[in-house]
Structure 1
Amino acid sequence: MAGLLTARVLAEAYDDVIVVERDPLTDHDCSVPHVCPRRGVPQDYHVHGLLTRGRLLIEEMFPGITDELLASGAVAGDVTDDVLWVVNGRHLPRTHSDMLMLSLSRPHLEQRVRARVRALPNVRFLVRHSAVAPLLAPGERRVVGVTVTDTAGTRDLRGDLVVDTTGWRSRTPTWLERLGYPEVEEERQNVGVGYATQYFRLTPDAMKGVISEMVAASPASPRGAMSLRIEGGRTVVTAFGFRGDHAPTDPEAYLAYLKSLSAPDIYETVRGQEPLADPVAFRFPYNMRRRYERLTDLPEGLLVLGDAVCRLNPIYGQGTTVAALETTVLRDHVTRFGGARPTDYFAAIAEHAVDDVWHQTTSTDLAFPGVEGERTEAWRQRQESMGELLDAAVHDPSLLTAYARVIYLMDPPSALAQPRIRRAVRAARENEQPRAGI
C-alpha cells in the first residue's frame, strides 16, 4: 500500500513512474480465503483497519474510491455507533461519531487502489523483480536509479528519484553504510504480539446489528480480539495476545481463547457458526523505527517511506494511514522547486506523520507486563488519565467519540488533555458515585 500511494503522488511530479514489485500480481476473487494473501504481505489474511484519516486521504488521492469499495462489497458504518467497543471488560455506549468506517479485507482494498494506480498513464509496473542496490552517479553523492533482478538476471533502472517502500526488511540502512554514510539509528520495542485469524459465515443476526466487535486487551487481561464483517458475506476474526500469550490455531482451542477474553461477545457471536477455514497465525515481535531524521548526511535522490521507516504494532491498524500521511509529506517535497531534499523530507515525515503515532503506540504497549521500555512518572500519569477517561466514557458517550477521534488519527493525542475533556471526565466520575439516601 505504501508503494501504491507513493506512485500516485509521484505521478503528479514525474513523467514516468515505475513500481518495482517482487510478487506476481493477480486479481483473484478475494471472497475466497487463502487465495488473495501473497508472500510479500503476510498480514494480508488478517484483520485490517482502514482508519478514518487514512480513508479520507486515500479518497482525496482517488476520488470516488469509497463508493467504489462499497459497491464491490465493503461494509460501512459509524465507528462508534455500528461497532461494539469493550474496554477493560466493560461495554462502552454506542453513539454517533460522524466518522465513517469501511470494513473490508486488505487484499480487497489493495486491488482497488492498484487498479486506480495502473490506470494512471505515466505509471507502469515491473513485477517479479527485486531491488538489489541503488545506483550512484560516478564521483557524486547522488542516487540515479536502482539495480533490479529477476529470473533472467540483473539490470539497471535509471531515474531522478528512488523511493524505498520495501517494508521493515528494507536494505537501505545497509546500502547507506556500504556507500560510506553514517549508520541509521534504529529503535525497537519488544512486544511479542502474536495473533491468529479465522473466517466465518455468520447467520444474518449473529452480530446483533453491528459491523464490528472489538474486545480490547488490557494489562489485567492481555488478550484481545476484533471481528469485522467484510466483502463476500464473510466475517473475519483476529485474536491476539502479548508476550507469548498467543491465540492458538487449533479450532477448538481458538474458540476457548475467544471465550477467555475480558468479555465473551465475539465468542458468543461465532460459536456454532460456519468456519470457512482453520485459524492462521502471525507473529509481530517488536515495534521498530529508523531515525533517518537524525542523519545530517544523506545522498540526494533516495527517500524511504512506510514500514521501512516505522513499523507499528498491527493490532491498532495504523500502518496504511501512516503511509498515507507520509505520502502527503512526499507530495509537498517532490513538487517544490529544486525537488526533495532528503534531510528536510525525513524531518517532515517525523514531525507530521510518525512522531505522534509512534509515541501513542509505544506508550500504549508499555502498559502490558513484560513489554520493554522505561515507565516514567509522566507516562504513569498519562496512563492514569487515559484509564479515567475510558471509565468515564461508560457514562458519557461524548468521551468515547473524543477517544475514537484520536484512535482513528483524526485528532492528536493532546486533544484528550483539553480542559473540556477533563471537565467531562470529572463530571462523569462524580455522577457515578453512589449517593446516600435520606
Structure 2
Amino acid sequence: MKRLFKNLTFWVLSAITLGVLLGHFAPEVALQKILDKPIKISLYLSEFEIKTTFSEFLSSIFISIVKVFICPIIFITIMLGIISMGDLKKVGKVGAKSLLYFEVVTTIALLIGIVVANIIRPGDGVVTSEIKGGDISKYTQSAEAFSWLKFLLDNATLQVLILAIFLGVLFSNYGERHKVVSFLQPISNKIFWALHKVMLFAPVGAFGGMAFTIAKYGVHTLLPLGKLMVTVYCTMAIFIFVVLYFILRMYKINLLKFLKYIREELLIVLGTSSSEAALPSLMEKLEKMGCSKSVVGLVVPAGYSFNLDGTTIYLSMSVLFLAQVFNVHLDLQQILTIIGILMITSKGAAGVTGSGFIVLASTLSAVKVIPVEGLALLLGVDRFMSEARAITNFIGNGVATIWLANNEGEFDREQMERVL
C-alpha cells in the first residue's frame, strides 16, 4: 500500500477521476472565477497565460511551470550532445534523416485519416441545427494572418534548437571542449532535479484540466458528434498500434513495453491535453532508455514542430467530416489538393495558439469548397479530441527518437533491456 501511494501514476489517475467527478457534479465550482482576467507572463522567448477559472488556473499554472524547463533543457541537452558527439557530419546526417522520417510518417498518418473518414463517413446524417456553435472569428482571423515567418519567430522551441545547434557546432571545434562539458553537465543535473520536484504536482494539473473540460462542455455535448469522436480515437489507435508498432518492430522493440515505461507522462498529457507538459520528462526517459543525448536533443524538439501525427490525423478527418456534413462532394483532384495543403499547413500547428482550429481554418480557406463556418460544429468536442491528438503526437515523437537512435547506431540495447 505504501508503494502505491508513492506511485505518481496512481496519483495522476486519481486526480483525473476526481476532476471528472467535480466537473460533472459541481461544474459551478470548477468554473468559479478566482481571477478578474488572465495573467500573461513572458519568459524564455515564450508567453504563458494563467487562466481565470479555478480548474483552468490549476492546470495552466502547472503547464506554465513545466514550459519554463523546456527551453533550458533543449538548449543544454543539444549542446552537450553535439559537443560530445564531435562528428559534425553525423549531426547533419541525423537532422536530415529526422526531417525525412517526419515527412514520411506524417504523410502516412494523413492518408490513414482520409481513408478511414471516407469509409466510415462520420459526417453523414449530422443535423447541424442540433449542435450549438460558437464564435470562430478569432480562428479565421488568425488563419488569415498566419505566415511561416511568424511561425518561426513565435516558435521558441525552434529558435532555441537552432541556437543550441550553432553553439554546439562552435564549441565542438574548441580544443578543450571537455571543459565546456564539465561546466554544462552539473547545470543539466540541477535542472532535471528541479523538474522532478515540479512533476510531483502533475496530479494538480491533471485534476484542473479534466475538471474544466467536463464542466465546460459536459459529456452530453459528445452525443451529436459522437461518431466523429469515436472515429478519430479509433483511427489514432490504429496509427499507434499498427504503424508505430511496426516502426519499432524493425529494431525488435516492444511498443507496449515502451508505453508502459512512459505511462506517467501519458496520463499527464491526458489530464492536461498538452504534450508539452511532459516533453522534458520524455527527453530524460528516452536517454535513460538508451537513446544518445545528441539524438534525443535533436529529434524531440524538432518533432514537436514537424512530427505531429495526431494533429495530422485530426485535420484530415475534420476536413472530410465537414465536407460530409454539408454534402460537399470532393473529387480525387480536390482530395489530392487537400492532402498537399495539409502536408504543409499541419507543420505550423505547434507554433500557433489554438493551432488545430487555425490550421483547419487556413486549410478550408485554401480549398474554398467547404464552408469555414462549419468550424463552429467542432468547438464543443475539440477539447475532448485534443487529448487524443496530444497523446498521439507524444507517442509519435518518442517512437521517432528511438527509431532514429537505432538507425544511427546511437542506441544502448542493454540499457533498454534493464529499463524496460
Q: Same fold (TM over 0.5)?
A: no
- When normalised by structure 1's length, the TM-score is 0.26
Higher RCO (CA 8 Å, separation ≥ 6 residues):
2
- When normalised by structure 2's length, the TM-score is 0.26
User: Would you tell me which structure has more helix in proportion to its own residues?
Assistant: 2
Q: Which has the larger radius of gyration?
A: 1
